[in-house]
Amino acid sequence: MSSIKRRQSLAVMVGGIMIGGGAQISIQSMTNTKTDDTASTLAQINRLAAAGCELIRVAVPDARAARSISRLVQESSIPIIADIHFDLRLAYLALQHGASEVRINPGNIGGKEKLRDLARAAADQGAALRVGVNAGSLETSRLKKHGAAKAEALVDSALEYLQVLEKAQFQNIIVSLKASDVLTTIEANRLFAGLAPYPIHLGVTEAGTVLSGTVKSAVGIGTLLAEGIGDTLRVSLTADPVEEVKIG
């Protein structure tokens, strides 16, 4: 049986974990606790790490959550990724408090010009940025251009924001292109894989319950992995995050 030839991508460090560059595919999850409840969040992170999770994303809805990252970083055995929506000020705060990576969504951060300064801040902290494009929150202009949240629209969004980061001389980037529709997710990642060298985070948005989410993720993520596409992954479920890691 022949081995799978993996797509060659740039190596990006997230804490002590290498993503891409031929490194082993890493497993991620996301906590479902209130991030500023650091005791509960750390307890869940420890359970996830014991189950095999290698990187963990936490929600950062406000400044209190961003400041809580300091303790999480100090006491977590795995790198902390900050999940940012709408307010880029929280991204800066998360970086200041030690986040190894910040995930941003081009569809809700209010314009690509804001990324240049964020790229410099991430570079100063030695952190990575994930450009997380989601079919459910594509920019209105993108939807008008493509007519719908098609694979091409997701890729178009990612490439435009990557250009901004590259102009800022920043390449510590991971990219994800996700949709709740499995075929759109597969097609978008196939297209992107041939157009840019950055590591790809695989996942299917709103995959669902343990049963439906496992099936959708197995088809979407499994198909891409079999084609050599993907450097890190998360199986997204509406269940205990530990189940995501077990399935991944």
Q: What averages of pLDDT result for each successive group of 10 residues across the chain (248 residues)?
A: 84 98 96 97 97 97 98 98 94 98 86 84 97 89 86 95 94 95 95 98 71 73 96 78 65
The SS3 of residue 186 is helix
Is residue 168 within 8 Å of 211, Cβ to Cβ? no
The whole-number pLDDT of residue 136 equals: 86
The residues that bridge with 59 in the sheet, in sequence order, are 83
The whole-number pLDDT of residue 1 equals: 42
The whole-number pLDDT of residue 152 equals: 95
Instruction: Give every CB contact of residue 183 below 8 A, 6+ residues apart in sequence.
Output: none
Q: What mean pLDDT value characterizes the chain?
A: 90
The whole-number pLDDT of residue 68 equals: 98
The whole-number pLDDT of residue 247 equals: 60
The whole-number pLDDT of residue 203 equals: 87
Q: Which fold does the domain 12-247 belong to in CATH?
A: TIM Barrel (3.20.20)
The ranges assigned to domains in the chain are 12-247
The whole-number pLDDT of residue 138 equals: 85
The whole-number pLDDT of residue 130 equals: 97
The pLDDT tens digits for 87-139 are: 999 999 999 999 999 999 877 777 677 888 999 999 999 999 999 999 888 88
List, in sequence order, every beta strand (DSSP E) within the chain: 12-14, 17-19, 26-30, 55-59, 80-83, 101-104, 128-134, 173-178, 200-202, 232-233
